[in-house]
C-alpha cells in the first residue's frame, strides 16, 4: 500500500537560510503563489526520498508567532489549519539565542518538529562548540546539521524527515516559569475546550499574551477570566503578562544555551581575532569607531552631493513643467497646491534620497561585516563604567536607522530598569529621518571641508547625550541592581553585495514609501494651513516699489538685491497671515532666544508629525506667496535668511527635541503607560530647548 504524501513546513527567522534549505530540498520542482487573500509569497515544492513523496511548504520568515503581523499569522495558521506532518525549524545555529525564541513558540503549538541547525559552517568557523546531543535531550527534538547555501547535510535532513517517528512537542519553558505565570497558564488551560492538552496550553498562553486572534474565537466568559488572570499577574509582578511570558521563554533559552554552547577556547589566533585586537582595543576602540563614523559621513557627502544636485534639478524641472500647464501669471489654486504643496513638500524630501541611500549603504556594510557588533562590544566597557548595561548599546545602534525598531529592540534587555533607561534615550540616536535636515542645512551654510565634520558632530552629540541622560536615569529614576552580560562576537566576513543591497534597498524603500504616503498627506494639509487665509491687502505697495526699482537706473546687482528684499518682505507678510504663520508668530517669542523665527518655528512644530516634514515644510514656507517662478533653491533662500549659527541651532533642536509621534506611540506601547511616553516627549523637548538656547546665545557672543 502506498504511503500518503508527507507534508513538511519550513519555519524560521528571516535570514536563517530557510529559502536556501528549501531550494536544496526541492531542487527545481517548486511553485510560487500567494497565500489566499494576502500578498505574501507562498512557495511549495516536493521531493521523493526512500520511496516517500514529500511536499514542502516554505513559511514566511518570522521571529515570533503573535497575531501582530500577517506573516506571523500565516505561519501559525498554516501549522494549525493545514496540520503539516512535520515542521522543520531552520535555525541559524550561530545565533541560537535569537532563533530559539521562535522554536519555543513552535513547540508551544505541539507539533512534530526537527531542528535544522543551519549555518553550521559559521559555528565551526567561530569555534562555537554546540552540544547537539544535549540540546536534543533537553528539547526532546531531533537535530540535523545543515549548510543551506552549499547543500551540506541535506541528505541527512531528508533521512530525518522520512524516518521521523512523531513526538509531539510541549512548551518546555512553562515548568521553569515564575509560579504565578505557571499557575495562570495551568488554571486557564483547564477551562478551555481544545483538541489536546498542548493545544489548550497554547491557547492559554496566547490569551494571557492578549492575542487578538485567539481571543476572537473564545466566549466572553473565557475572555473575561483570561483578562482577570492577566491583570492579576500584572498587578502582582508589575509588568504585563505578555512581557512575563516573553521573559520566561528567554530565561529558559538562556539556561539552555549555558548548558549547550561552549565558548571557543583560543588555540590559534584567527584573522577575526587579529582584527579585533586592534578594533576592540581598550584605548583605540572608541577613536576607531569615531573615525569610522566620520568616514561614513564624508562618503555620503562626497558621493551624495552631486547626486543631490541632480535630484534638485529634477524636481525643479518637474515643478516648472507642471507650472507651465497653466498660463503665465495664473493664480490657480490647484497649480499652487501641486507645485508648492506636493512637489515642494514630497520633492523636498525625495531630493535627499541619494544621501539616505548612501548612508544606509554604509550602515549595512558596517552591520553585515560584523563591525557593528564590535561597536556594541566597545561601548559595553564604557557603559559599564558609567553604571549602564552594555547590551543597551545594541538597540541604540539600531536607532541610527529608525528609532521605532530601536525601541522594540530593547526587549532583549531582561532588566526593566535597563530596558526603560535605554528606550527613553533611544530617540537621541540620530535617525534616518533627521538626516535630510542636516543635508539641507549644512551645504546651505558651510563650505565643503566642514560638511562631514559637522554631521559627525551632530551624531556624536546625540550619542554623548544619550549616554549622559541614560546615566542620569539609571542612577536617579530606574535604580536597581545590574545584570551581567556576555556578548557573542560574530566573526568578520566579507558582506555579499546582494545582502548589502537588499538591506539598503529595504530601508531606502521605506523612506520613499513614507515620502509618498505620510509625508504627502502631511504636506498637503500643511500647504493648506500655510496658504490660507489669503492676504489681499498689504501694508505697503510692494508692487509699486518694485516697479519703481525696475525703472530706476542703478547697478544691476544692487537692483536685484533690493527687489529680492522687497519680495521677501511681501512673502513674509503673506505667510504670516496664514494659519501656520499665525501659529508660528504665536510661538515665536518663546523660540526667538534659540535663533528661530516664526517660519522655522512652524517647521519645527510640523516636524513632530515626522522629522522629514521639517524639510518639506521649510520648502512650503518659502514657496508660498512667491512672486516669480524661476525661483532660487531652498538652500539659497536659507542662506539669504539665516546665519550659520541659526542653522546649527535648527539641527541641534531637531536632533534632541521630541521625537516623532510614531516614537511616542512606540514608547507608550513598550512601557505600557502614557506616563513614560509623555515624560520622554516633554523631557527631550526641554533638553533640546536648554541646549539650543545655550549654544545659540553663547555662539552669538563668541562669533
Nearest to 100 by CA among 136, 64, 126: 64
Q: In this chain, which of 6, 25, 147, 398 binds ligand GDP, going by CB under 6 A?
A: 147
CB nearer ligand GDP, residue 14 or residue 27: 14
Beta strand pairing status for 41-49 and 30-34? antiparallel
- For the bound state, the minimum distance from the C-beta of residue 142 to ligand GDP, rounded and expressed in Å, comes to 18
CB nearer ligand GDP, residue 92 or residue 211: 92
CB nearer Mg ion, residue 41 or residue 131: 41
Q: Is 516 in the site for ligand GDP (CB under 6 A)?
A: no
CA 404 and chain centroid, separation: 5
Cβ atoms within 10 A of the Cβ of 473, count? 20
- In SS3 terms, 266-298 reads as CCCCCHHHHHHHHHCCCCCHHHHHHHHHHHHHH
Radius of gyration of the chain (CA): 29
In 187-330, at which residue ranges do the beta strands (DSSP E only) sit? 261-262
Q: Is 145 in the site for ligand GDP (CB under 6 A)?
A: no
Eight-state DSSP code of residue 263: P
Binding site for Mg ion (CB under 5 A): 19
Q: In this chain, which of 7, 9, 19, 60 binds ligand GDP, going by CB under 6 A?
A: 19
Q: Report the partner that residue 366 touches, choosing among Mg ion, ligand GDP, none (CB closer than 5 to 8 A by kind).
A: none
Q: In this chain, which of 6, 9, 11, 17 binds ligand GDP, going by CB under 6 A?
A: 17
- For the bound state, the minimum distance from the C-beta of residue 17 to Mg ion, rounded and expressed in Å, comes to 8
Give me the residue whose beta carbon is nearest to Mg ion: 19
3-state secondary structure of 261: strand
- 596, burial (CB in 10 Å: exposed 0-12, middle 13-18, buried 19+): buried
Q: Is 20 in the site for ligand GDP (CB under 6 A)?
A: yes
Q: Which three cell numbers stand for residue 132?
A: 547537539
Q: In this chain, which of 149, 320, 412, 643 binds ligand GDP, going by CB under 6 A?
A: 149
Q: Report the partner that residue 121 touches, choosing among ligand GDP, Mg ion, none (CB closer than 5 to 8 A by kind).
A: ligand GDP
User: Residues 285, 378: contact at Cβ < 8 Å?
Assistant: yes
Q: Is 15 in the site for ligand GDP (CB under 6 A)?
A: yes
Beta strand pairing status for 86-92 and 113-118? parallel
CB nearer Mg ion, residue 58 or residue 418: 58
CB nearer Mg ion, residue 115 or residue 428: 115
Cell numbers 529614576 label which residue? 477
- 330, burial (CB in 10 Å: exposed 0-12, middle 13-18, buried 19+): exposed
Q: What residues numbered 189-248 form the site for ligand GDP, per CB under 6 A?
A: none
CB nearer ligand GDP, residue 16 or residue 646: 16
Q: In this chain, which of 18, 391, 570, 635 binds ligand GDP, going by CB under 6 A?
A: 18
CB nearer ligand GDP, residue 114 or residue 185: 114
Q: Report the partner that residue 306 touches, choosing among Mg ion, ligand GDP, none (CB closer than 5 to 8 A by kind).
A: none
> Is the alpha carbon torsion for 624, 628, 630, 636 positive or negative?
negative
Residues 6+ apart with CB under 8 A from 530: 575, 578, 579, 580, 581, 602, 617, 620, 621, 624
Binding mask of the shown chain, residues 102 to 141, with x at each position contacting ligand GDP by CB under 6 A: ----------------xx-xx-------------------
CB nearer ligand GDP, residue 145 or residue 391: 145
CB nearer ligand GDP, residue 119 or residue 695: 119
Residues lying near ligand GDP in the complex (CB under 6 A): 12, 14-20, 61, 118-119, 121-122, 147-149, 496, 499
Amino acid at each position: 500500500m502506498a504511503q500518503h504524501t508527507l507534508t513538511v513546513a519550513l519555519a524560521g527567522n528571516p535570514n536563517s537560510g530557510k529559502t536556501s534549505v528549501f531550494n536544496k530540498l526541492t531542487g527545481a520542482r517548486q511553485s510560487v503563489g500567494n497565500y489566499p487573500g494576502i500578498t505574501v509569497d507562498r512557495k511549495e515544492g516536493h521531493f521523493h526520498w526512500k520511496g516517500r513523496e514529500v511536499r514542502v511548504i516554505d513559511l514566511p520568515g518570522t521571529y515570533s508567532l503573535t497575531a501582530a503581523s500577517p506573516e506571523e499569522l500565516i505561519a501559525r495558521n498554516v501549522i494549525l489549519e493545514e496540520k503539516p506532518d512535520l515542521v522543520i525549524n531552520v535555525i541559524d545555529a550561530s545565533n541560537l539565542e535569537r532563533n530559539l525564541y521562535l522554536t519555543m513558540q513552535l513547540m508551544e503549538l505541539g507539533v512534530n518538529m526537527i531542528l535544522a541547525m543551519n549555518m553550521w559552517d559559521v559555528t565551526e568557523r567561530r569555534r562555537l562548540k554546540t552540544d547537539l546531543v544535549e540540546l536534543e535531550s533537553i528539547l526532546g527534538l531531533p537535530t540535523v546539521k545543515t549548510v543551506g547555501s552549499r547543500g551540506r547535510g541535506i541528505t541527512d535532513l531528508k533521512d530525518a524527515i522520512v524516518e521521523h517517528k512523531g513526538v509531539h512537542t510541549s512548551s518546555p519553558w512553562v515548568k521553569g516559569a515564575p509560579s504565578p505565570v505557571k499557575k495562570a497558564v495551568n488554571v486557564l488551560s483547564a477551562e478551555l475546550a481544545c483538541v489536546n492538552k498542548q493545544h489548550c496550553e497554547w491557547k492559554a498562553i496566547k490569551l494571557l499574551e492578549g492575542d487578538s486572534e485567539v481571543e476572537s474565537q473564545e466566549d466572553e466568559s473565557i475572555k473575561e477570566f483570561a483578562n482577570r488572570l492577566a491583570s492579576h499577574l500584572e498587578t502582582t509582578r508589575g509588568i504585563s503578562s505578555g512581557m512575563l511570558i516573553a521573559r520566561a521563554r528567554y530565561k529558559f533559552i538562556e539556561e539552555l544555551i549555558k548548558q549547550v554552547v561552549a565558548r571557543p577556547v583560543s588555540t590559534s589566533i584567527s584573522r577575526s581575532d587579529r582584527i579585533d585586537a586592534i578594533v576592540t582595543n581598550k584605548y583605540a576602540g572608541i577613536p576607531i569607531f569615531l573615525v569610522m563614523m566620520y568616514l561614513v559621513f564624508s562618503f555620503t557627502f562626497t558621493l551624495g552631493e552631486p547626486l543631490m544636485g541632480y535630484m534638485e534639478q529634477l524636481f525643479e524641472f518637474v515643478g516648472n513643467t507642471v507650472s507651465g500647464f497653466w498660463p503665465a501669471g495664473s493664480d490657480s489654486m490647484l497649480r499652487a497646491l501641486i507645485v508648492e504643496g506636493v512637489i515642494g513638500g514630497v520633492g523636498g524630501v525625495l531630493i535627499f534620497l541619494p544621501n539616505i541611500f548612501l548612508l544606509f549603504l554604509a550602515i549595512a556594510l558596517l552591520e553585515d561585516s560584523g563591525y557593528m557588533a564590535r561597536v556594541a562590544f566597545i561601548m559595553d566597557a564604557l557603559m559599564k563604567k558609567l553604571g549602564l548595561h552594555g547590551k543597551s548599546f545594541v538597540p541604540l545602534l539600531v536607532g541610527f536607522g529608525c528609532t521605532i525598531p530601536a525601541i522594540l529592540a530593547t526587549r532583549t534587555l531582561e532588566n526593566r530598569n535597563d530596558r526603560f533607561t535605554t528606550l527613553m534615550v533611544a530617540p537621541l540616536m540620530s535617525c534616518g529621518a533627521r538626516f535630510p535636515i542636516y543635508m539641507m542645512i549644512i551645504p546651505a551654510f558651510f563650505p565643503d571641508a566642514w560638511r562631514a565634520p559637522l554631521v559627525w558632530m551632530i551624531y556624536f552629540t546625540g550619542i554623548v547625550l544619550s549616554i549622559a541622560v541614560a546615566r542620569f536615569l539609571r542612577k536617579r529614576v530606574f535604580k536597581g541592581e545590574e545584570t551581567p552580560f556576555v556578548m557573542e562576537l560574530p566573526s568578520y566576513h566579507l558582506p555579499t553585495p546582494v545582502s548589502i543591497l537588499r538591506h539598503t534597498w529595504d530601508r531606502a524603500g521605506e523612506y520613499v514609501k513614507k515620502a509618498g504616503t505620510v509625508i504627502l498627506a502631511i504636506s498637503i494639509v500643511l500647504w493648506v494651513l500655510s496658504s490660507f487665509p489669503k492676504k489681499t491687502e498689504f501694508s505697503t505697495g510692494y508692487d509699486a516699489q518694485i516697479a519703481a526699482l525696475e525703472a530706476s537706473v542703478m547697478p544691476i546687482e544692487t537692483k536685484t538685491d533690493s527687489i529680492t528684499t522687497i519680495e521677501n518682505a511681501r512673502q513674509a507678510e503673506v505667510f504670516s497671515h496664514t494659519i501656520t504663520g499665525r501659529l508660528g508668530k504665536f510661538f515665536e517669542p518663546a523660540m526667538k532666544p534659540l535663533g528661530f523665527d516664526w517660519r522655522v518655528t512652524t517647521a519645527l512644530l510640523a516636524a513632530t508629525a515626522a522629522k522629514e516634514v521639517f524639510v518639506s515644510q521649510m520648502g512650503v514656507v518659502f514657496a508660498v506667496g512667491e512672486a516669480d517662478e524661476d525661483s532660487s533653491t531652498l538652500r539659497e533662500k536659507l542662506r539669504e535668511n539665516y546665519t550659520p549659527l541659526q542653522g546649527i541651532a535648527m539641527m541641534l533642536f531637531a536632533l534632541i527635541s521630541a521625537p516623532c509621534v510614531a516614537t511616542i506611540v512606540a514608547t507608550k506601547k513598550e512601557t505600557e503607560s502614557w506616563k513614560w511616553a509623555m515624560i520622554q516627549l516633554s523631557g527631550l523637548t526641554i533638553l533640546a530647548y536648554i541646549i539650543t538656547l545655550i549654544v545659540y546665545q553663547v555662539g552669538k557672543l563668541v562669533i
